[in-house]
Amino acid sequence: MESHRLIVDSVVVRFGQKTVLSGGYITSSTGAVTGLLGRNGAGKSCMFRALMGGLRVDNVMVSIDGKPVDRRIIGKSIKYLPQGRLLPENIQLHRAFELYGVNYWTFVNWFPKYSRFYDSALWELSGGEARLAELYLVLMSEALFHILDEPFSQIDPVHIEAVKQLIIERSKDHGIIVTDHNYDAISTVADNLFVIADGYTFPVTQRDDLVRHGYLRPQ
């Protein structure tokens, strides 16, 4: 298995006079799940959107194995599941899978109810059904790294365990970054954790780190 290392550094994001990120940083390696935590508005999604080129930022440095990444074609190396809707409303589900090079019927093996959605346009699915399909698509498509922004939101509780299992299996030969408000879900899949607070990223080694940065209340 080839090992790769992604480093996102010096992320600076400002909206007018407001500075959201002053020194955003995150790293990911093949074979590991990295969890990113932070309160609402801390800048987690901004950092991901910045690194993927979907947000104009003051500064961002992205490298894989020490080489700068051409952000015009970053999708070939990194796949990103945003918080909002990823797929166009009028795309047929099987067509999206074809474009992303993912086998639809393997997806159906995991989630059998989707066999009837093969020809369905995305707008015919509920929010949760669409979210699960998008999550699978991003996670299983070809890339070195996968970034999942709140992957557990909108997902049926009965599917949470399957999603965790998918993430863990996929992380064996890919690097995965996950952010979510469900701290318990993140902590069970993540090999290492970071927290964003006051515009900077801090490593988390114990629960007290999260309390110190205002993410959790003291017990």
Partner 1 sequence: MNLRDHIYLTWLNGGWQIIIGIVYNVSAALLVAFTHSYTLVVDTFILKIPFTALVFYLAHNLRPRDSCFFYINLGFSRWRFQIVILLVDFLLFAILMTLALLPNGKP
Interacting residue ranges for partner 1, rule: CB under 8 A: 49, 52-54, 72-76, 79-80, 82-88, 90-91, 95, 99-100, 138, 141
Q: Which is nearer to partner 1, 78 or 189 (CB)?
A: 78
Q: Residue 208 CB: number of other CB atoms within 10 A? A: 12
| Of 45, 43, 49, residue with least CA distance to 71 | 49
Smallest gap, in angstroms, from Cβ of residue 106 to partner 1?
19
Smallest gap, in angstroms, from Cβ of residue 26 to partner 1?
17
- Which residue matches tokens 């996968």? 146
What is the DSSP secondary structure assignment for residue 41, as one 8-state letter?
T
d(CA 15, CA 167): 33
Q: Which is nearer to partner 1, 79 or 174 (CB)?
A: 79
Smallest gap, in angstroms, from Cβ of residue 53 to partner 1?
6
Q: Which is nearer to partner 1, 65 or 70 (CB)?
A: 70
d(CA 213, CA 193): 13
Torsions phi, psi for 16 (to 5 deg): 65, -125
Q: Which is nearer to partner 1, 134 or 209 (CB)?
A: 134
